[in-house]
């Protein structure tokens, strides 16, 4: 079943000729180069045990601390070649010496990415963090974010990624507008502390753990707040944080157009939230999101200033393979988006040819892009099938032994 590199090339060439025959005006080699430059950030918390409110299933070998998490992240990067950075969560990943942590990561071949302050795991925050009626609690929350900015300076991170668990469960519990003003004031204080080359991402969430309202409930609230703060503040789109049916790709396009798309948390859901592997529920939707990104990249000379981060709550899949599978899903979606025949699409749109325009997208989506992805991996010098390579690597067996001590 193993494919040698000659096969890889043959299949790549077959795909190229298949595209040529079909009349699609796309550049496979350019797609390949852009795929080689794709960068995805994995989250440290994606390597430790997690669960639902009902139970946390223990996974043998799951990382127990930030060092082990970085090891796992480095392994994913070694196998995929496109995940060179790791997001941290403070205080989950709190250490005494961040300079040493930075070096530890670099020795493993990865860097530290976004810093995520934790504003929800403290009894003080039951009624809110920066929306709490008690100014003392708000101050504590701001201080924690300022501490995170300090950590960013030490570890070389440029992204402060803020998700608020703030919200209420019952009508009357809090005053929407008081809370809004407190939140804005606190964010302004943190914003002022950012260095010139830092950015602040504001994540929104439709619900949970607030079951009546969340203070940043949708992209509109996050974006209007970011507009108040200034150009370094942008919106973070978590794929799981929308009402069912929401056209996420439309929001992405709107944010791009407004210059406010700051980053992604990739995951997927069928019902409620960020529960599943990105691309596992509706891969066509993921493709349509990347379709907007690829189009915008074309205009922007190939690159957007957007953080592509993975954030999903895996409960039953083994952690490292789930992360690798996610990376592969994101590569596949991007690959297909890069093979959309944009001239044909624009032409059909102009002519009002609805079926023709749809078919341009569907034709790209229906392509078997595995030959392209294998060529990308071959040129990146990573295994052609990273999942299989991981299974055969003995890594899991080794850490199970090491981490049970």
Phi, psi at residue 79, to the nearest 5°? -90, -25
CB 126 within 8 A of CB 169: no
Query: Quick one: which of 98, 25, 30, 93 has its CA closest to 64?
Result: 93
Residue 181 near a second copy by CB under 8 A: yes
How distant, in Å, are the alpha carbons of 7, 274, 278, 291 from that of 313? 37, 6, 10, 25
> By rule CB under 8 A, what count of residues binds a second copy?
111
C-alpha span between 279 and 287 (Å, rounded): 9
Range in contact with a second copy (rule: CB under 8 A) among 81-89, 149-157, 363-371, 395-403: 363-371
Residue 368 near a second copy by CB under 8 A: yes
Which residues lie across from 167 on neighbouring strands?
214
Among 39, 270, 303, 343, the residue binding a second copy under the rule CB under 8 A is: 270
Range in contact with a second copy (rule: CB under 8 A) among 72-80, 119-127, 185-193, 395-403: 119-127
Residue 218 near a second copy by CB under 8 A: yes
Report the nearest approach of a second copy to the CB of residue 29 (Å).
Answer: 20
What binding mask, one character per residue, do residues 6-35 give for a second copy by CB under 8 A, x or -?
Answer: -x---x--x---x--xxx------------
Range in contact with a second copy (rule: CB under 8 A) among 74-82, 96-104, 351-359, 396-404: 351-359
Among 68, 166, 203, 275, the residue binding a second copy under the rule CB under 8 A is: 275
Residue 298 near a second copy by CB under 8 A: no
Residue 375 near a second copy by CB under 8 A: no
Residue 397 near a second copy by CB under 8 A: no
How distant, in Å, are the alpha carbons of 16, 126, 170, 342, 398 from that of 20? 6, 60, 59, 15, 47
Residue (58 or 196) nearer to a second copy, CB: 58
Among 177, 197, 394, 405, the residue binding a second copy under the rule CB under 8 A is: 177
* CB-side neighbour CA atoms (13 Å) of 243: 5
What DSSP letter does each residue of 212-269 carry, written as one string? SEESS-SHHHHHHHHHHH-TTEEEEEETTSS-TT--HHHHHHHHHHHT-EEEEEE-B-
Residue 313 near a second copy by CB under 8 A: yes
Number of H helices, E strands in the chain: 15, 10
Q: Which of residues 123-152 bind a second copy (CB under 8 A)?
A: 123, 126-127, 133
Range in contact with a second copy (rule: CB under 8 A) among 64-72, 105-113, 122-130, 376-384: 122-130
């Amino acid at each position: 079943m193993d494919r040698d590199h000659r096969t890889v090339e043959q299949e790549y060439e077959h795909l190229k000729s298949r595209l040529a025959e079909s009349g699609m005006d796309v550049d496979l080699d350019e797609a390949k180069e852009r795929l080689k430059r794709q960068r995805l950030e994995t989250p440290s918390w994606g390597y430790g045990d997690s669960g639902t409110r009902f139970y946390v299933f223990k996974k043998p070998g799951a990382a127990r601390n930030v060092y082990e998490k970085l090891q796992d992240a480095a392994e994913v990067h070694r196998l995929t070649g496109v995940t060179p950075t790791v997001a941290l969560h403070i205080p989950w990943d709190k250490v005494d010496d961040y300079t040493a942590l930075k070096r530890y990561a670099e020795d493993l071949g990865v860097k530290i990415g976004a810093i995520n302050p934790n504003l929800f795991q403290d009894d003080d925050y039951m009624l809110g963090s920066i929306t709490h009626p008690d100014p003392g609690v708000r101050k504590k929350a701001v201080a924690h974010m300022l501490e995170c900015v300090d950590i960013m300076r030490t570890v070389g991170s440029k992204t402060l990624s803020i998700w608020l668990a703030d919200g209420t469960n019952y009508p009357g519990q809090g005053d929407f507008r008081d809370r809004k003003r407190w939140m804005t004031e606190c964010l302004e204080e943190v914003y002022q502390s950012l260095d010139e080359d830092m950015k602040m991402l504001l994540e929104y969430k439709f619900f949970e753990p607030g079951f009546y309202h969340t203070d940043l409930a949708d992209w509109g609230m996050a974006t209007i707040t970011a507009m108040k703060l200034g150009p370094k503040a942008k919106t973070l789109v978590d794929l799981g944080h929308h009402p069912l049916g929401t056209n996420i790709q439309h929001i992405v396009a709107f944010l791009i157009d407004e210059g406010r798309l700051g980053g992604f948390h990739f995951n997927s859901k069928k019902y409620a939230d960020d529960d599943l592997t990105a691309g596992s529920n509706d891969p066509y939707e993921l493709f349509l999101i990347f379709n907007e990104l690829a189009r915008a990249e074309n205009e922007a000379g190939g690159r957007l200033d957007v953080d592509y981060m993975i954030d999903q709550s895996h409960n039953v899949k083994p952690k490292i393979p789930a992360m690798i599978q996610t990376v592969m899903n994101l590569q596949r979606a991007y690959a297909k988006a890069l093979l959309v025949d944009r001239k044909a699409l624009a032409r059909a749109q102009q002519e009002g040819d609805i079926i023709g325009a749809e078919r341009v997208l569907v034709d790209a989506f229906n392509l078997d892009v595995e030959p392209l992805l294998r060529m990308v991996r071959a040129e990146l010098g990573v295994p052609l099938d990273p999942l299989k390579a991981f299974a055969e690597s003995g890594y899991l067996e080794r850490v199970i032994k090491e981490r049970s001590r």
